Structure 1
């Protein structure tokens, strides 16, 4: 079966940005920022996106383009032990986990969009969200959003994903800009900006490990790396494209839209809600509902806002769904429509666990996904640096410009040592918090180095005699 490619560079970049922005920047970002000290979290998050996210994106791009396969097929076809295929399987599992709770949030958004026209959530936003967030109604709305995403993925890479994101992303940005201008005029906008942008060094010093783990997970979540999305999307890229340029463009656009979303949300949360932490996972809905209930033309403004968020949710859902779909198409030669229908049924079942249980939803959305994404990207980096090695440098340089080509070798050694070690530190910090432990920083550093150093030495030793990449491209 012939494999599709992107029709244009802008189509790929917008699809990748759509995946990266999605609900990560509009729904999850204010929730994570509010629970981790506001500006303290924002600073660490920005540093991780630029310092770790861009090199990580490049690692995922290189695995995807060099293999022209889904995550499982990529590790199976590229050089190295077949044990690395387990990392590809982890990507598919992560995608299913993401879809299982992400589609629930998509259902919430669809419901709020519909209810904006009647103002059904205006009277008591907090009570309303509690009443509709879980249960049979939440499951029905989840299925509608999941079904719409499945229809887009069934249409294919060019006609479905690329065409849809080309239309959606400019609309999302324009609507966010308009909303940011409006939010700046609200009564407590200054307090929102102070919480969001005024650096709080004391909070960061007192809660560094907690902030670090959450910021690392959020950075990987918003960039869609660590879960296989970017491996899958890069598998449709032509060989003459500059991967460093594409990765930088995606990261910058993602950061810009994320910061813009914060400029909309935090002034409104301080003006019309009980502070930014009100509502937990429902902070976006409770806070924004309170804003629209107190404003002229609140129904129209609410419908406009939730339309923006709904478009963002769908761009992310289709990127996640493409991971297991491409796996079934590539590895089992299934028709795209057949694969998508089967996955719709599977994710409807796993998603029901999240739609009917707040505890399951919080476990999936708050901690489990952060751990899976961090572990996944750590594996991508180690594999790219020490197993692909010189092949990764060659792939990096294909299509790269004069400025980025000399950075290929330093990039390889950085993703083989510094960056994955940092991610392991964040992984152990977050895992300790989830397990209820509070080890000091020196203990986590020791455990991190005790894991990373022997593993790097083993990879260098085991890969020393492995021949250059040979990809089986037979269909």
Structure 2
């Protein structure tokens, strides 16, 4: 079996790896939740704790999951098994526990497939002028989304989303995922930046910028602000014991993980800020109040705003293409863990593994279209933070300090500080547990 590890696919460049990790992190949370949270909690009042948590999580959890995957040369099942083998001499307990984040990734991917199907439809509607043709009639706009999000309401575009995802993945890590992200991520940032510049030129936008840069000192005393800022950072950086672990497993041992994690955090935050600098001033231009996050923001309220501003048709086209790239890059990452599991545990070829996962994912996604919101809530509230906590426990507590430092320091000229392991043990693990408990109590925090 050892010879197969030499044949294992992987990223061909650090840039490709970082762009793929950025793609996995930049998703719907950056676009339909982050601007709403910034607006709801008072601009910079929210951004200050958010950025602090991004720094903390990227310098612990993101590094840890990348290092764990690279050290084990496998996904969560193999990685967790490696950790328990080091501690007890037995792989089986870790492998059994590692099934959970794989199933979580698959479940989240299935729910995400439904959402990406919506995005495909609205990108097409925008390109063909049908979004602009809705005007500002909220009955028409709301009716379109209602008919799309109902049971079996978007079958064609959902299947298209699965096919496109499967084609990208079938070409492998370097030939498919890396190449696709090298196209999608630069275009996403360029288009979002262009949108931001255009919105800046429109009358009324200054009210949005003024609000973003507002600081309410009293707001910083609200514990819920810190909980939601933490939740946004935690989920935005995609630590869940699955996607980042599997991407890390494809990385060369010569690459500097600490630098890669820093770049992922920087560009993920930039994407979220760009979305905020487009959506909040855009709502101000349209005289609308940003009072909703989630699908309603993207598929109802923003259409009304875009159709009421100069050049709104083009703005809508660019916006939905940006959202499509963000959604696709995340969806590919979510499906990779179950695909890699079929390859590792059952010896399937890449094409066959992708085909099996795509068929199952598509079938279940078609069935849950009417309940996707509850599906996504259940997975994100419970399974994702649990996966992140288990991954951190395996890496810092089970495998131990010597393994952790050695795994992280490979490829680095300057060794990471001794602070890294204590932060992982006594800060990251409790915070992951906090994400699980707070999410359950508050109905989701990210």
Quote the offset at 1:23 in angstroms: 2.5
Aligned to 1:110: 120
**Size of the alignment, in residue pairs?**
427
Within the candidate set 269, 272, 291, 1:258 is matched to 272
- 1: CA distance, partners of 2:142 / 2:209: 23
Matched ranges for 1:62-461 at <5 A: 62-78=67-83, 79-80=86-87, 82-116=92-126, 117-118=128-129, 119-122=132-135, 123-124=137-138, 125-206=141-222, 208-209=223-224, 211-272=225-286, 274-278=288-292, 280-357=294-371, 361-366=372-377, 368-389=379-400, 390-402=402-414, 405-407=415-417, 409-434=418-443
Aligned to 1:443: none
Quote the offset at 1:399 in angstroms: 1.3
Quote the offset at 1:193 in angstroms: 2.6
In the TM superposition, what whole-angstrom CA distance separates every residue of 1:387-444 from its partner, at most 9, and x where no partner exists? 2221111111111132xx141x210111011222233233222222239xxxxxxxxx
Within the candidate set 1, 22, 43, 2:27 is matched to 22
Quote the offset at 1:262 in angstroms: 1.0
In the TM superposition, what whole-angstrom CA distance separates every residue of 1:233-264 from its partner, at most 9, and x where no partner exists? 11011111111111111111111121112111
Quote the offset at 1:179 in angstroms: 0.4
Contact 1:56 1:415 in 2 (8 A): yes
Q: Which runs of 5+ in 1 are unaligned?
A: 436-475
Contact 1:126 1:286 in 2 (8 A): yes
> Which stretch of structure 1 is more off in the superposition, 152-161 or 93-102?
93-102
- 2: CA distance, partners of 1:366 / 1:36: 22
TM-score in terms of structure 1 length: 0.84
- CA distance 1:268–1:28, shift in 2 (3 Å): same
Contact 2:80 2:394 in 1 (8 A): no
- CA distance 1:98–1:75, shift in 2 (3 Å): same
- 1: CA distance, partners of 2:335 / 2:260: 22
- CA distance 1:251–1:160, shift in 2 (3 Å): same
Any idea what SS the aligned residue of 1:239 has? coil
In the TM superposition, what whole-angstrom CA distance separates every residue of 1:301-356 from its partner, at most 9, and x where no partner exists? 21122111111111111111111101111111111111111111222233234412
Q: Which runs of 5+ in 2 are unaligned?
A: none
- CA distance 1:192–1:419, shift in 2 (3 Å): same
Contact 1:216 1:423 in 2 (8 A): no
Contact 1:101 1:364 in 2 (8 A): yes
